[in-house]
């Protein structure tokens, strides 16, 4: 029986990886392959994730499309678009591998509604709908993503595609793109809450949940977070209504305008890229419409340093004794919001993915999330090793991203 031709990683591609990165990646991908079934699926996963790693971190990983045979390309496409395997099981294995590097670095859990612009109407979930990060309606898919927010990175770990009502009411369209029969209509908020519960059940540590107005404005979403015991700080629009003390309902914008001047203070801010700024803030205890009794929440109002009108509003369930610094730090700066949406599209490789099916979309994003999480964990591990070696006086043995020791450069 003739040996089967290796259609996967070529010797050139294998040798181009620094040995330490190749070792870690090989071990990680081996664990992700557990439970996939056929050996061809394991080979396809290795090739697909290696290709994604090369796109996400070209300094560390190497892939050339010229070495990609037609057979290999077709095998990867079949594995992503048609093969039956569980993306949630794969992501659970990914987290089990990486939690040692990531757990202690997680500051927040971020829920986002990410719009993916598409032409035509054949891709699953495509409709003219509101894309929150763009601030307008567009012909797009909307993905609900759940990310781990680190000090210097955002690591997506869960993602679900939102299906508008017009899709759920067209059985022929659903069948054409392979939406399972047991998938029911869910609002964006319901989808976000279910994704959060799924991630927490996988063992990801609970952290304060942050979200933009697309979710924060929904009373049912805030109520669902309360029901599962999640602490949150969510952006809300100016028209959101609350009560202060026992007063009647009023919009948060009206409440902000009625605050005495002494309740407003200046505080320095810093976004994830390290840019420093200054803003004016006010914090006041209020009761949103969905909260019963005297269980109040924080209303956090922000003005630009020289601005007259508030720039943003947020509701937070952080404790009543939370410091102003804690409350301000829990707000995601506007610059981070725009950057995060762009980064999520890039890290999930969604603009380039042109598959139309339900299964293909969720398989692709699961593989992209597992790959990026590995790269993020590797950076955390390298950073920790660097600090240990510098503390031990061994900094001259540190390697740069190309595998060259600092000693060799002298």
- The string of pLDDT tens digits covering residues 236-265 is 999 999 998 877 899 999 999 999 989 999
Using one digit for the tens of pLDDT, what is the confidence trace for 151-174? 888 999 999 999 999 999 999 999
Would you tell me how many other CB atoms lie within 10 Å of the CB of residue 407?
Answer: 11
Using one digit for the tens of pLDDT, what is the confidence trace for 81-110? 999 999 999 999 999 999 999 999 999 999
Which one is predicted more confidently, 189 or 1?
189
Rounded to whole angstroms, how far apart are CA atoms 290 and 242? 9
pLDDT at 371: 95
CA dihedral sign, ordered 8, 10, 13, 14: positive
- Across residues 24-47, what is the average pLDDT? 89
What is the band of 384 on the pLDDT scale with cuts at 50, 70, 90?
low
Q: Is the pLDDT of residue 323 over 90?
A: yes
Both tokens of 44, joined, read 């396809």
pLDDT at 7: 43
Q: Is the pLDDT of residue 6 over 70?
A: no
* Burial tier of 39 (Cβ tally within 10 Å: 0-12, 13-18, 19+): exposed
Residues 6+ apart with CB under 8 A from 346: none
- Of 15-24, 121-130, 335-344, the poorest mean pLDDT is in 15-24
pLDDT at 120: 86
- Across residues 371-382, what is the average pLDDT? 89
Per DSSP bridges, beta strands 276-288 and 232-236 are unpaired
What percentage of the chain exceeds 70 in pLDDT? 82
Q: Is the pLDDT of residue 16 over 60?
A: no
pLDDT at 383: 66
Please give the C-alpha separations between residue 375 and each of 17, 57, 94, 95, in angstroms, as whole numbers.
Answer: 14, 8, 12, 13
Query: Both ends of the chain: CA-CA distance in Å?
Result: 54
Which one is predicted more confidently, 395 or 269?
269
DSSP-assigned letter for residue 399: B
Highest mean pLDDT among 7-11, 12-16, 364-368, 378-382: 364-368
- Whether residue 115 contacts residue 131, with contact meaning beta carbons closer than 8 Å, is answered with yes
Both tokens of 407, joined, read 């000693």
pLDDT at 392: 55
Please give the C-alpha separations between residue 186 and each of 33, 64, 180, 190, 191, in angstroms, as whole numbers.
Answer: 31, 41, 14, 6, 6
pLDDT at 409: 37
Rounded to whole angstroms, how far apart are CA atoms 325 and 162? 35
- Of 172-176, 258-262, 302-306, 310-314, the poorest mean pLDDT is in 302-306
- Tokens 């678009």, residue? 81
DSSP string, 238-291: TT-EEESTTPPPEEHHHHHHHS-GGG-EEEEEE-TT--EEEEEEEEEEEEETT-
**Chain mean pLDDT for the chain:** 84
Rounded to whole angstroms, how far apart are CA atoms 381 and 389? 12
- Across residues 262-281, what is the average pLDDT? 84
Highest mean pLDDT among 20-29, 133-142, 193-202: 193-202
| pTM (predicted TM-score) | 0.86
pLDDT at 70: 77
DSSP-assigned letter for residue 237: -
- Across residues 213-217, what is the average pLDDT? 93
Give the per-residue SS3 of 188-234.
Answer: HHHHHHHHHHHHHHCCCCCCEEEECHHHHCCHHHHHHHHHCCCCEEE
């Amino acid at each position: 029986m003739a040996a089967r031709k290796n259609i996967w990683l070529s010797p050139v591609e294998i040798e181009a990886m620094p040995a330490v990165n190749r070792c870690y990646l090989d071990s990680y991908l081996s664990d992700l392959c557990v439970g996939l079934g056929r050996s061809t699926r394991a080979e396809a996963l290795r090739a697909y994730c290696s290709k994604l790693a090369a796109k996400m971190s070209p300094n560390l990983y190497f892939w050339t499309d010229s070495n990609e045979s037609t057979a290999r390309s077709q095998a990867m496409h079949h594995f992503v678009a048609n093969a039956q395997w569980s993306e949630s099981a794969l992501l659970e294995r990914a987290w089990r591998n990486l939690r040692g590097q990531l757990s202690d670095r997680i500051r927040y859990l971020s829920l986002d509604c990410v719009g993916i612009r598409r032409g035509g109407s054949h891709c699953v979930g495509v409709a003219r709908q509101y894309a929150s990060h763009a601030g307008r309606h567009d012909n797009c898919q909307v993905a609900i993503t759940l990310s781990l927010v680190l000090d210097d990175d955002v690591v997506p770990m869960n993602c679900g595609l939102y299906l508008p009502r017009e899709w759920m009411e067209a059985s022929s369209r659903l069948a054409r793109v392979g939406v399972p029969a047991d998938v029911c209509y869910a609002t964006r908020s319901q989808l976000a809450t279910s994704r959060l519960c799924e991630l927490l059940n996988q063992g990801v540590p609970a952290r304060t949940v942050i979200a933009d107005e697309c979710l924060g404005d929904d009373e049912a979403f805030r109520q669902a977070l309360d029901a599962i015991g999640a602490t949150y700080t969510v952006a809300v629009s100016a028209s959101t209504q609350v009560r202060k003390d026992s007063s009647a309902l009023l919009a948060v914008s009206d409440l902000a305008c009625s605050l005495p001047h002494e309740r407003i203070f200046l505080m320095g801010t810093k976004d994830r890229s390290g840019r420093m700024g200054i803003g004016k803030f006010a914090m006041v205890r209020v009761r949103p419409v969905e909260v019963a009794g005297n269980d109040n929440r924080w209303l956090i109002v922000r003005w630009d340093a020289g601005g007259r009108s508030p720039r943003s509003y947020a509701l937070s369930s952080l404790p009543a004794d939370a410091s102003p610094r804690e409350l301000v730090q829990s707000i995601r700066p506007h610059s981070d919001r725009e950057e995060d949406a762009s980064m999520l599209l890039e890290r999930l490789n969604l603009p380039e993915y042109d598959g139309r099916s339900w299964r293909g979309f969720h398989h692709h994003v699961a593989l992209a999330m597992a790959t990026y999480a590995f790269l993020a964990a590797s950076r955390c591990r390298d950073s920790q090793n660097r600090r240990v070696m510098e503390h031990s006086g061994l900094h001259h043995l540190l390697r740069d991203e190309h595998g060259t020791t600092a000693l060799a450069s002298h």
